[in-house]
Amino acid sequence: MYFSIALTKETLEEYRALLSNNKLSELDFVFRHKNMPVEVRSFLAAQIKLRKKAEKKHPNFFKSCCFYLEQALEQSTAYWVARHKAALFQQNSTLLVCDLTGGMGAESVAFADNGNQVVYIEPHKELFDISNYNFERLGLSAQIELMNTNAEDFLLQNVSAFDLTLLDPDRRAQGVRDFTLENSSPNPLLLEEEILKKSRKLLVKHSPLIDIQYLREQFNFLQTVFVFSFRNEVKEVTTLHTRGDVNDTKVVCICINSKGVKSVVAFNENADKHITHVNSGCKEYFFEPDKAIIKSGYASLYASRLGLESISPGIPYFTSENVPHNFIGRIFEVKEVVKYNNQSIKEILNKYKIVKASIGARGFSLKADEIEKKFQLKPDDTHHLFFYINKDGEKEVVLCETYLPKASI
């Protein structure tokens, strides 16, 4: 949503002062300020709502009393992901970075905070003005140069040579969410080679739902695929591009826990994805790798490295008699395993007096929410029920409890 009001430094300072001690809800603020111009009132009411979202997603922006636009905030890279993304390129020398699709500027800020010089490109005047103000609030005006233009026009006029260019295409260019590269704006397939003529490296942000093999097939200069997760949720897939021949695309999973600490695991494109031994049943412990590792397609290889056995081919559930000290993901103690049918599920629920449980289902005939509804279970983290098809093609359910000594999420 964009507003047709002047967002100068002076007006934004006035708005910040007005909101600094605000205790009103979004709706109460509107009723309290009926004499305020409608556009101004709408903008300020939106800030009350957006600041609540920003407090968790961008604590640095929130603490500095920054301003937001809803779509930009929603599509922005979260704080810890942006931090760890910038850290991938941290070195002794200063980098010249171009953020071609600036948006809210979370990545521009992360790279500038590491001492780099950043050129921020943003075509929307309202967002451009807000970012100009926010960068000053964050103390980064000297390190971030802003240009109010679009990516394509900038590339036509630019004569600078960059160390790294950032590209985050709009996947809702036609008003509908779309995960294909061709319908993104700007189109990274068309710009890849042109950008790499003036930049040593290119970093493209994609939807967390995009298919990694599809990315390999579409790009000409793809070097590395990064899969970022935060608290066991895939936040984005990012691709690194460089000029020259690439024979083996790497997939690097960066798994960030609730404290912002990352764990990293990497795979080569030509590695065997399915080499774990399939066990005949669950042992003492049950494992589900971090969602970033599952997304990579190499969960079985990862489990094999740690000596874990697969419960069923193609399903990222694993088991072992021991707990590897460096496992990235969720670990559970197995309580009981039963064949799936209505009677066996009711018996196990009654036996352990379960009315709430976390449900997991992979390769199963029912989805997790359908299972919850069928057995009238409410979400909870005390008990965990995992539904899957075992190696003999039989439906099976394992009841687990969280293994408390280990928490990697």
pLDDT, tens digit, 9 for 90 and up, residues 5-40: 789 999 999 999 989 888 889 889 988 888 899 999
What does the alpha-carbon distance between residue 332 and residue 384 come to, in Å, rounded to a whole number?
8
Q: Return all residues near 28 (Cβ < 8 A) that are at least 6 apart.
A: none
Question: In whole numbers, what is the pLDDT of the chain averaged over residues?
Answer: 92
pLDDT of residue 129: 96
pLDDT of residue 92: 81
Handedness of CA 254, 257, 259, 265 (dihedral sign): negative
Q: What is the CATH code of the structural domain delimited by 83-268?
A: 3.40.50.150
Q: Give helix then strand counts, H and E, for the chain.
A: 15, 16
pLDDT of residue 287: 97
Q: Is pLDDT above 80 for 409?
A: no
Q: Is pLDDT above 60 for 173?
A: no
| Residue ranges of domains in the chain | 9-72, 83-268, 285-402
pLDDT of residue 174: 56
Over range 293-300, report the average pLDDT.
Answer: 96
Over range 376-394, report the average pLDDT.
Answer: 92
Over range 194-199, report the average pLDDT.
Answer: 95
Torsion angle, CA of 178/50/99/110, rounded to 10 degrees? -120
97, 1, 89: which is closest to 50 by C-alpha?
Answer: 1
* Position with higher pLDDT, 337 vs 5: 337
pLDDT of residue 245: 74
pLDDT of residue 381: 86
Q: Are 350 and 327 in contact (CB under 8 A)?
A: no
**Paired residues of 145 in beta bridges:** 119
Over range 107-113, report the average pLDDT.
Answer: 98
Q: Is pLDDT above 60 for 408?
A: no
Phi-psi region of 103 (alpha: psi -120 to 50; beta: other; left: phi over 0): left
Q: Report which residue type is found at 235.
A: K
**Band (2; pLDDT cuts 50, 70, 90):** low
CA 255 to chain centre: 10
Over range 85-111, report the average pLDDT.
Answer: 95
Among 2-6, 28-32, 78-82, the least confident range: 2-6
Q: Is pLDDT above 80 for 185?
A: yes
Over range 135-149, report the average pLDDT.
Answer: 97
Rg of the chain in Å (alpha carbons): 24
For every residue of 94-139, DSSP letters joined together read: PPEEEETT-TT-HHHHHHHHTT-EEEEE---HHHHHHHHHHHHHTT
Handedness of CA 325, 330, 332, 338 (dihedral sign): negative
Percent of the chain topping pLDDT 90: 78
- Residue 169, helix vs strand vs coil: coil
For 257-288, how does the pLDDT look when each residue is reduced to its tens digit (9 = 90+)? Answer: 999 999 999 999 877 666 666 776 799 999 99
pLDDT of residue 284: 95
CA 166 to chain centre: 16
What does the alpha-carbon distance between residue 381 and residue 399 come to, in Å, rounded to a whole number?
12
pLDDT of residue 277: 67
Q: Are 49 and 19 in contact (CB under 8 A)?
A: no
pLDDT of residue 4: 65
pLDDT of residue 304: 93
Over range 183-201, report the average pLDDT.
Answer: 93
pLDDT of residue 359: 97
Over range 130-141, report the average pLDDT.
Answer: 98
98, 113, 13, 18: which is closest to 60 by C-alpha?
Answer: 113
**Band (91; pLDDT cuts 50, 70, 90):** confident
Overall pTM > 0.75: yes
pLDDT of residue 88: 96
pLDDT of residue 159: 85
195, 304, 293: which is closest to 240 by C-alpha?
Answer: 195
Percent of the chain topping pLDDT 70: 94
